[in-house]
Amino acid sequence: MSLLRVENLSKEFGGVHAVEDLSFGIKASTIHSIIGPNGAGKTTLFNLISGLYTPTSGRILLAEEDVVGLAPYALAARGLSRTFQNLQIFFNMTALENVMVGLHLHVDRRFWPTLLRLGGIARKEELARQRAAELMRFVGLASYLDADASSMPYGALKRLEIARALASKPKILLLDEPAAGLNAAETEAIDGLIRKTAETGVTVVLVEHDMRLVMGVSDQILVLDNGRKLGEGAAAEVRSNPAVIQAYLGAASLGGTDVAR
Amino acid sequence: MTSRLMTPRGGGLLALAILIAATPLILPNAFYFDVAVRAGINAIVCVGLNLLIGYAGQISLGHAGFLGLGAYGSAVLTATYGWPPLLAMTLAAAVVGVLAFAVARPVLRLKGHYLAMATLGLGVIISIVVNNEAAITGGPDGMTVPPLDLAGWTIDSEAVWYWLVGLALWVAVWLALNIIHSPVGRALRSVHGSEVAAEVSGVDTARYKTLVFVISAVLASLAGSLSAHYGGFITPSDVSFFRSIELVTMVVLGGMASTFGAVVGAVILTILPQVLTWFADYEHMIFGLILMLTMIFMPKGLVPSLTVLFRIRLGARGGSAPT
């Protein structure tokens, strides 16, 4: 049974088909990558799944429940979280507070007790602080516990987004190019973090251009081109799929080596 | 207990209480008490407005409208219908709360300039209604308002008003800090930081924007009622567009996302025109100038900028806690 299932999903922007008649399933507790050339519709697909876009047609099922039309915060409550390709950090907060926002669904946020500071709000805040610090250590940001988000380097912010996303206790986590802009060592570390996250039982869906990372870490790979499914399968299958090779060879500069590597 | 007082929150509340308690010692006569009362009332509005502008990052150029509805609501209910002031204040605040709730969803869907224009429009509509419904409001001539009385005790001395407004201000600051230092406050700040990231983190951004808009409107309404009963006479200029700008300038000068900053901004800009009497003719210009200079040279406002300076002096490091 698939934790996430997409059925005949299409999204049009003024006549342009960003995603067209796409169907696939993602099994629980796996690492699933989505690859494809720029403009293949990967990020659009993420935006559809996470509720930022409404599909033109088709269905999205999360744990067998149709979730099309639900707002992102409602999807978060159902166990879906994500990070962003171009960072979406709360730069008006500390790193720790960024992660604490991720805990929003799991903390006491009733209005009247908050207003009158009753019901142990202060004590619960301390617990939330500790939980957020734990998550920051989990993603390797122990040295930034006191930092303002605005003072952190790019690579650390990428991890901060992952920590914030994990704070909402997702069943399924969408990572949009977590290694983009990172050097080899940082990418290596992200690789480890993805595996570590998957080991905790979180289903990871990865959009990524770094083929070494994708081929190494993925249980299953979905290949998109022009909004359509080009191929699907385990790393070895995808690598030897003629259609996939054709698509990547077609993109001259990649020279096919990217896939073959 | 001492550790609690060392936090920005505990220490700030204590400092505010001491300031409010000690100020009368240096106020030589009733005129100064009058200025202090007006400053306190403005500060109450600014504390609420700062939750909206500074923390949630939503602009409002129409808050004088809510202030005016509170003032006129109280005035009409007490003067025309003979209601007890406390009941009139409460009803006016409730009506303003409902109105703010009703307009919040469509208005707060807008961003930046569009939100500014929409709230400006709201304020202007309220101002026009107050001007034109002369049968109820007295129109441009204004109307007299009975003094505040609490269970038969009429409050007419500036000194008593001072303590009353001082207490109300302290409570408003306490409530605002309670919100800020909680998951609700963090949700508000996340809306400011990145609405899309807030949403995927589980924050119902529309709900929180509505909530903070209503809170700030209700606080403005209550402060408006207080100022009407205190002054004893209100005119449509209390509801004007310029009044809204004045309130925003106070928040910006004192420091956005700083509750104590909002109080400081309100106090400074209430005292300034009193101290510099030549100011009167150029009041609008000077406020505009202050707003411009603050945005250019001190975009974070007085209190946050000074706090940073103070920290650097002390050589302290670490995250900036919201104050």
In the sheet where A228-233 sits, what is the strand order?
Answer: A80-82, A172-176, A203-207, A31-35, A220-225, A228-233
Q: What is the mean pLDDT of residues A99-120?
A: 93
pLDDT at A48: 96
Q: Kindly state whether residues A145 and A217 are assigned to the same domain.
A: no
Say yes or no to pLDDT of B3 above 90. no
B80 in contact with A at a CB cutoff of 8 Å? Answer: no
Confidence of residue A249 (pLDDT cuts 50, 70, 90): low
Confidence of residue A29 (pLDDT cuts 50, 70, 90): very high
The answer to whether residues A227 and A21 touch, using CB atoms and an 8 Å cutoff, is no
B171 in contact with A at a CB cutoff of 8 Å? Answer: no
Q: Which residue has the tokens 């508000």?
A: B188
**pLDDT > 70: percent of chain A:** 95
d(CA B174, CA B12): 10
Task: Evaluate whether residue A85 is within a structural domain.
Answer: no
Task: Evaluate whether residue A194 is within a structural domain.
Answer: yes
The answer to whether residues B237 and B246 touch, using CB atoms and an 8 Å cutoff, is no
Q: Which residue has the tokens 């090779």?
A: A245
More confident residue, A119 or A201: A201
pLDDT at A250: 61
Confidence of residue B114 (pLDDT cuts 50, 70, 90): confident
pLDDT at B2: 56
According to DSSP, the residues that pair with A22 across neighbouring strands are A9
Q: Kindly state whether residues A106 and A44 are assigned to the same domain.
A: no
Question: B320: which chain A residues are within 8 Å (Cβ-Cβ)?
Answer: 94, 148
Q: Kindly state whether residues A49 and A99 are assigned to the same domain.
A: no
The identity of residue A94, as a single letter, is: T
Q: Which residue of A has its CA nearest to B201?
A: A102
pLDDT at B105: 86
pLDDT at B229: 95
Instruction: Give Cβ neighbours of residue A108 (< 8 Å, ≥ 6 apart).
Output: A114, A119, A120, A121, A124, B183
Q: Do A52 and B186 touch (CB under 8 A)?
A: no
Task: Evaluate whether residue A159 is within a structural domain.
Answer: no
Q: Do B183 and A148 touch (CB under 8 A)?
A: no
B202 in contact with A at a CB cutoff of 8 Å? Answer: yes
Q: Which residue of B has its CA nearest to A84?
A: B197
pLDDT at B189: 97
Question: A170: which chain B residues are within 8 Å (Cβ-Cβ)?
Answer: none
Nearest to A102 by CA among B202, B188, B192: B202
State the average pLDDT for chain A.
91
pLDDT at A252: 42
Q: Kindly state whether residues A145 and A179 are assigned to the same domain.
A: no
**How big is the A-B interface in CB pairs under 8 Å?**
120
Q: Do A77 and B200 touch (CB under 8 A)?
A: no
Q: What is the mean pLDDT of residues A57-76?
A: 95
The answer to whether residues B42 and B247 touch, using CB atoms and an 8 Å cutoff, is yes
CA dihedral B147, B151, B153, B159 (to 10 degrees): -70
Q: With 0-12 CB in 10 A as exposed, 13-18 as middle and 19+ as buried, what is B222?
A: buried
pLDDT at A200: 95
Say yes or no to pLDDT of B288 above 90. no
Nearest to A109 by CA among B259, B184, B126: B184
- Residues B52-66 have pLDDT tens digits of 999 999 999 999 999
Give SS3 for B203: coil
Q: Kindly state whether residues A148 and A66 are assigned to the same domain.
A: no
pLDDT at A66: 95
Q: Kindly state whether residues A117 and A181 are assigned to the same domain.
A: no
- Residues B64-105 have pLDDT tens digits of 999 999 999 999 999 999 999 999 999 999 999 999 999 998
Say yes or no to pLDDT of B209 above 60. yes
pLDDT at B310: 81
d(CA A10, CA A228): 9
pLDDT at B184: 96
Task: Evaluate whether residue A247 is within a structural domain.
Answer: yes
Task: Evaluate whether residue A163 is within a structural domain.
Answer: no
Confidence of residue B187 (pLDDT cuts 50, 70, 90): very high
Confidence of residue A245 (pLDDT cuts 50, 70, 90): confident
Q: Using CB atoms, which residue from B186, B200, B319 is nearest to A72?
A: B200
Helix B183-193 vs helix B205-231: angle between axes, to the nearest 10 degrees? 110
**pLDDT > 70: percent of chain B:** 95
Q: Which residue has the tokens 């999204």?
A: A11
Confidence of residue B295 (pLDDT cuts 50, 70, 90): confident
Range of the domain at A117: 92-154
The answer to whether residues A235 and A29 touch, using CB atoms and an 8 Å cutoff, is no
pLDDT at A105: 96
B187 in contact with A at a CB cutoff of 8 Å? Answer: yes
- Residues A134-156 have pLDDT tens digits of 999 999 999 999 999 999 999 99
For residue A67, the domain's CATH number is 3.40.50.300
The identity of residue B42, as a single letter, is: N
pLDDT at A257: 46
pLDDT at B141: 87
Task: Evaluate whether residue A200 is within a structural domain.
Answer: yes
Confidence of residue B320 (pLDDT cuts 50, 70, 90): very low
Give SS3 for B153: strand
- Residues A159-203 have pLDDT tens digits of 999 999 999 999 999 999 999 999 999 999 999 999 999 999 999
Q: Which residue of A has its CA nearest to B57?
A: A92
Question: A90: which chain B residues are within 8 Å (Cβ-Cβ)?
Answer: 189-190, 192-194, 197-198
Q: How many CB atoms lie within 10 A of CB B226?
A: 25
Nearest to A20 by CA among A49, A52, A45, A51: A45
Q: Kindly state whether residues A20 and A59 are assigned to the same domain.
A: yes
Confidence of residue B138 (pLDDT cuts 50, 70, 90): confident
Task: Evaluate whether residue A97 is within a structural domain.
Answer: yes
Domain count within chain A: 2
d(CA B287, CA B276): 13
Task: Evaluate whether residue A229 is within a structural domain.
Answer: yes
Q: Kindly state whether residues A229 and A110 are assigned to the same domain.
A: no
Nearest to B89 by CA among B214, B219, B237, B211: B219
Say yes or no to pLDDT of B4 above 80. no
Say yes or no to pLDDT of B305 above 90. no
- Residues B11-29 have pLDDT tens digits of 889 999 999 999 988 888 8
Residue A172 — left, alpha, or beta (φ > 0 → left; ψ -120 to 50 → alpha)?
A: beta
Say yes or no to pLDDT of B168 above 80. yes
ipTM of the complex: 0.90
Q: Would you mind telling me the total number of residues written for chain A in this entry?
A: 261
State the average pLDDT for chain B.
89
B201 in contact with A at a CB cutoff of 8 Å? Answer: yes
